[in-house]
Structure 1
Amino acid sequence: MSTPMRTDEHWANYNSRQAARPIRESCRRAMAVAGRGAGRIAVDLGCGAGRETRAFLEAGWRVSAFDGEPGTEARLLRTIGGRHAALTIETIRFQELYDLPDADLVYAGYSLPFQTRDDFDRLWTLIRAALRPGGRIAVDLFGDRDSWAAEPGMTFLTEPETRALFDGLTIEHWDVEDAPGTAFSGPKHWHVFHVVAQRR
């Protein structure tokens, strides 16, 4: 099975092929239940090529986009077609991220699992603290049966551990992917929790 090659070159190659893909399903679901942005704030954690960032802007959200990879700002601006008054971009490694803006929607598509457990837990605390009443979290988290589960420096969760993250929130969508598939680096077994939850 393939393992993630977490180098700047790997992520640059990965992101270069992402700008034209459809938005990820967890993001699409969260936007569908949240409705038009109408000036509300979305946080895109691990914005990559900016495909979801662009969708948020087109739907009327103000967006704070975060990613640690070099060239993030230039890559994202290419995707959205130039600077946008409703967009702020911060190029920062998640290990150095200690503050998030108050948000009505926090989206982290496949980005949080690439953190150590300590950093994951700290980031999750930040996300929960940033979420405004009525706001939503949309995430894709790796399960313990994923073929990368032995990879050091990442976070893989059991189903009970994943559900516990959402204590006090209303889970609006819960889907477990547990099947062979293909990653950017090759074939693998995916075990992923796709979750949308709301703070009431």
Structure 2
Amino acid sequence: MASELINKGVLADLNKLNEEYKRWAEANDNPIKAFADYVNPILEKLNLEVDLINTEYNVPIKSKVKDEVIPFSGLSTGTKGLLLTLFPLMQLNTDDAIILIDEPDRSLFPDIQIDLISNYRPIAPKAQFIVATHSPFIAAAFKPEERFILYYDENGNVRVRRGISPIGDDPNDILRNDFKVDYYNEFGKKAYQDPAIG
């Protein structure tokens, strides 16, 4: 499109350039628009969005705070993982598929983790998800009978048990009931009991 505009000599006339671009944009769908429409509400929590104007990158991600495109290498580990998981799910036929996701919560703030599985499910509604996680926020997105908790028994052997906390339960209850974790460390217990510290 840029070559055509240069050949037509419209670059010097901004009004004509805008008209030509609008006409071209109406006739040609932006290939990342569907992805942007789905991902931007998720990226909103990170003050990011897919930039539909920039053509420097395949999927340009823009900081809403600085209003500048961030190279993929400049994104956080969690943001990269999120995008690298969502994009293929939107591109592939996931009907009757089994989708394995390892640690989708890695390097993501808890408010993103809470909604993560509900962001995956609509993209692949007929797929079976198998998710490995240490996050009670992710675990809470599944019914107790869908949760398989691996643990070491007294002999050091890996065993499995089903979850018992209901879907959507408080993450602390998931930690206590399903993961069997006492989520207060010794400092926290002392601080809670000692009014001078707490």
TM-score, length-normalised on structure 1?
0.28
Kindly name which structure, 1 or 2, has the bigger radius of gyration based on alpha carbons. 2
Greater share of helix residues, 1 or 2? 2
TM-score, length-normalised on structure 2?
0.29
